[in-house]
Amino acid sequence: MLFAAALRASPMAEFGPFKWVGAELDHRRAAPRRHNEAVPPDSRLARKGANLESAATLVASTRVPMAQPLTDARFVTSAADVRKLGICHAEVAFVGRSNVGKSSLLNALANQNQLARVSKTPGRTRLINVFLTGPDRWIVDLPGYGFATGPAAERATWQAMVEGYLTGRATLRMVFVLVDAEVGPTKLDHAMIEWLRVEGLPHRIVATKADQVKPSKALKQRKDVAAELGLQPGDIAWVSAGKGTGIPELRREVADLLAL
């Protein structure tokens, strides 16, 4: 029982047809240039001695930057029952108490404002929400726990849904457990982390809303939150979806886990 006690444009397109590079390679077509005249970057290949090797170097050095991983994420499906979900190559999931910032973090990682629904009202995410990134990789946003105002039957539904998902996915590479950076781990966070440990599910703590912690207290808060979980400060990812703190690092980590 989960909470018995509590609940990514071809870069070549930028250079046009290959013929263009060939024409620039033919130095007889290039206008004569005075000694010491600066060579405009785009005409570098017109110099005497230019060869195919330098053409390749130019192509490589002016390549447009690759898109950031995860920014291609798009919503695929919602489900209450893990058995209704299809298969994927690899996935990661976000869990945490209601309102801790799971959906906001997903939006920040995907660099999109309205991918996952964000709300001040706890309990906004009510189903298992699946987002596709790259070839067959999923990011899963789960409904939050500790939505105390819900009826007991609703909490039981939550438990069956989240526990079913977490134990039912062989492709689940990491469970990111979100903990409020300022509040620290709650009883339910402790219960979730302990349950993941007992189940042998790979998990990583992410402290959210780091912008809410005064800079003067940040260092101590990092130490305290880590100590309370029996961890070192470096074991916890410290992020702010609002300010973007720690987002590129976590994006890279998720992309690596998903082999993107």
Ligand X SMILES: Nc1nc2c(ncn2[C@@H]2O[C@H](COP(=O)(O)OP(=O)(O)OP(=O)(O)O)[C@@H](O)[C@H]2O)c(=O)[nH]1
Contact call for residue 240 and ligand X (CB under 6 A): yes
Residue 208 or residue 221: which is nearer to ligand X going by CB? 208
Q: What is the closest distance, in whole angstroms, from the C-beta atom of residue 121 to ligand X in the complex?
A: 7
Residue 55 or residue 73: which is nearer to Mg ion going by CB? 73
Helix, strand, or coil here: 204?
strand
Contact call for residue 129 and ligand X (CB under 6 A): no
Binding ligand X (rule: CB under 6 A), the pick from 102, 137, 173, 203 is 102
Contact call for residue 222 and ligand X (CB under 6 A): no
Q: Please state, in angstroms and as integers, the Cα–Cα distance from residue 259 to each residue in 67, 75, 106, 221, following that order.
A: 15, 20, 18, 32
Tell me how far apart the alpha carbons of residues 199 and 178 are, in angstroms, rounded to a whole number. 18
Residues 30-89 that bind ligand X (CB under 6 A): none
DSSP designation for 144: P
Tell me how far apart the alpha carbons of residues 20 and 45 are, in angstroms, rounded to a whole number. 11
Contact call for residue 242 and ligand X (CB under 6 A): yes
Could you tell which of Mg ion, ligand X, none binds residue 169, using a CB distance below 5 to 8 A set by kind?
Answer: none
Answer for the pair 33, 39: CB distance below 8 angstroms, yes or no: yes
Residue 55 or residue 246: which is nearer to ligand X going by CB? 246
Residues 133-192 that bind ligand X (CB under 6 A): 143-144
Contact call for residue 221 and ligand X (CB under 6 A): no
Stretch that binds ligand X, among 10-18, 57-65, 205-213, 223-231 (CB under 6 A): 205-213
Residue 64 or residue 218: which is nearer to ligand X going by CB? 218
Answer for the pair 51, 100: CB distance below 8 angstroms, yes or no: no
Contact call for residue 209 and ligand X (CB under 6 A): yes
Nearest-5° Cα angle at 219, 244 to 118: 30
Residue 172 or residue 206: which is nearer to ligand X going by CB? 206
Q: What is the closest distance, in whole angstroms, from the C-beta atom of residue 24 to Mg ion in the complex?
A: 53
Handedness of CA 260, 119, 244, 145 (dihedral sign): negative
Residue 104 or residue 133: which is nearer to ligand X going by CB? 104
- What lies within 8 Å, CB to CB, of 45 at 6+ separation is 21, 24, 25, 54, 55, 58
CB burial of 71-104 (b: ≥16 within 10 Å; e: otherwise) equals: ebbeebeeeeebeebeebebbbbbbbbbbbbbbb
- What residues line the site for ligand X (CB under 6 A)? 96, 98-104, 118-120, 122-125, 143-144, 208-209, 211-212, 240-242
